[in-house]
Amino acid sequence: MLTRLFNESGGNIKWRSLYIDHPQMNYWLKYIRIYRTDLGLVICNRDNYALRKEILKSKVNKEATT
């Protein structure tokens, strides 16, 4: 999932922001935090709010992503 988000948001570039199209709302992720836990990785927004897999599996808005 992280590799897909990395590639769809521009690949190996100096700076990016990530816009995820989700049916309930659009998510803009300028900063993400990734924590390794005993249960696996937890991906959070800049406010340390864990993002559900269904949101992270959503399509990346490539027009809005820079």
Q: Is the dihedral of CA 39, 30, 28, 65 positive or negative?
A: negative
Give me the phi and psi of 41, to 5 degrees please: -85, 140
In this prediction, residue 33 carries a pLDDT of 92
* pLDDT score of 38: 97
> Could you report the per-residue pLDDT of 7-51, keeping only the tens digit for each?
888 888 888 778 888 887 777 888 889 999 999 999 998 889 999
Confidence of residue 65 (pLDDT cuts 50, 70, 90): low
Residue 20 has what pLDDT? 87
Q: What is the pTM of this model?
A: 0.73
pLDDT at residue 40, rounded to an integer = 93
